[in-house]
Amino acid sequence: MRSSIAKSIYVGAAVLGLAGLSAVTTTTASAKSYATAGSYTALTKGQNVLVNGTNAIYSKPGTVKGAKVVASKKTVAKLAASKKSSDTFYAYGTKTTNRGSVYYKIVTMDKKYRGYIYGGKTAGTFAGGIKTTETLTTATNPSQLNNYYLKDVSKNTLWTAPKNTDINAKKVSLYGVAKNAKFSIDKSATKTKEGSLYYHVVAADNSGVSGWIYAGGLTTDTPAATATDDNSVTIKYVDSSYNTVGAAKSFVTSETGTKKDTGLSDDSVAALNTFADANAPEGYTVAAKSAFTNSVKYGQTVQVQVVKAATSKVSFKVVGSSTTAPATIAASDLAAKAYPALTPTQQKAFTGKATDAIDLSANDLFAANGALNQLVGATKTDADGVKTHDVYTFDAATTKSANANAKYGDAYTAYYTVATQPNAAPQNSTETGNTNYVG
């Protein structure tokens, strides 16, 4: 009896063992199976493409064993929405799996992401997670095509194609190209993603230099010549104790054929004095204007003494029975509702050495046809509907007398006579006003 039971237990255990082995065998047979990929084939012609965010990018076709994620679907979705040309892709190779799936080898223009992405079921077409794109859109050429200069090649230079629009785009060598070399525009295009405008330019000297440049990298202004010992004078600004004030400036002559250690011509001396005055450090003025003579030579460093500048505020008033309490001419009294606009150069008339007397009575601003010679009043309408306007004309004699003791930095009053004119005041819709010299 015991023997029978023991045999039953043994046989039962054996049966269970076989059942367990069968279960293991079944599990192994149902493990995930992977696709296999054919050999890599380079595209005969590469293609610029965009990702659409539906598929991730892998180190090898995504269904092949060992494929690792290079860029997740979330990352790819961000690249798809990007407005940067650097996030455009370039497709240059392909692999097809034994299941008929085509994967393309792609890389971003900035080389940050590179890998395989699903591209549909038909080799040679771009579907699945990518689509073809044009990185440039043709634009209309400007009306002016010639006489352009490169503004600053350290910021915007020539490329064989606008950067990040072609995987092979590279900078064009400008070795031997003069700073003042002229270029002509022959093509225009915008980057499809950013919309920024680029021009294709060709050197006018037939040197063969050409390339694409950002529109803002061109200028029609003739570049300043590079300062050398043969054509320039360095100006060092100093105070009364000969301490350096501000940065040195280089005056470059417009004359040709000049040499180091030779004197400046009369015209260049005059230009040097004007340059020294105009480029004084902010908040300072040249102590002695027109101080340079022909004794200055090219290649030298010269010192220019500067002093703290003071600016006078000016008010506009009408000459009355007494100049001590005349009527002030407010901006609102004028037709333009603003005082005349002055250029930065014109405003310098109110700035000078604090100890110097200020006399603006004969200044060009107040002379006949000067910006401040006449002020046109606003239109006035009487009870009967008749329109008139006042014209204020500068009174040099009264102004000079009233400001006899004024120095730069003191308040200055410009006096005007007033005459009423018929009809409405003429309007100047372009007048923007400029009141930083008005007290």
pLDDT in tens, 181-229: 999 999 999 999 999 999 999 999 988 999 999 999 999 998 878 899 9
pLDDT in tens, 235-288: 999 998 999 999 999 999 989 899 999 999 999 999 999 999 889 998 898 988
Between CA 314 and CA 334 the distance in angstroms is 16
pLDDT score of 377 more than 60: yes
User: Are 235 and 279 a contacting pair, CB within 8 Å?
Assistant: yes
pLDDT score of 77 more than 50: yes
pLDDT score of 14 more than 90: no
pLDDT score of 439 more than 60: no
Per the DSSP assignment, residues forming a β-bridge with 108 are 89
The pLDDT confidence band at residue 312, using thresholds 50, 70 and 90, is confident
pLDDT in tens, 85-120: 999 999 999 999 999 999 999 999 999 999 999 999
Q: Which domains does the chain have, with CATH numbers?
A: 41-132 (no CATH), 137-219 (2.30.30.170), 232-310 (3.10.20), 312-422 (no CATH)
Please tell me the predicted confidence (pLDDT) of residue 346: 80
The pLDDT confidence band at residue 164, using thresholds 50, 70 and 90, is very high
Token code pair at residue 324 = 């001590």
The pLDDT confidence band at residue 290, using thresholds 50, 70 and 90, is confident
Residues of the chain with pLDDT > 90, as a percent, come to 62
Between CA 324 and CA 401 the distance in angstroms is 12
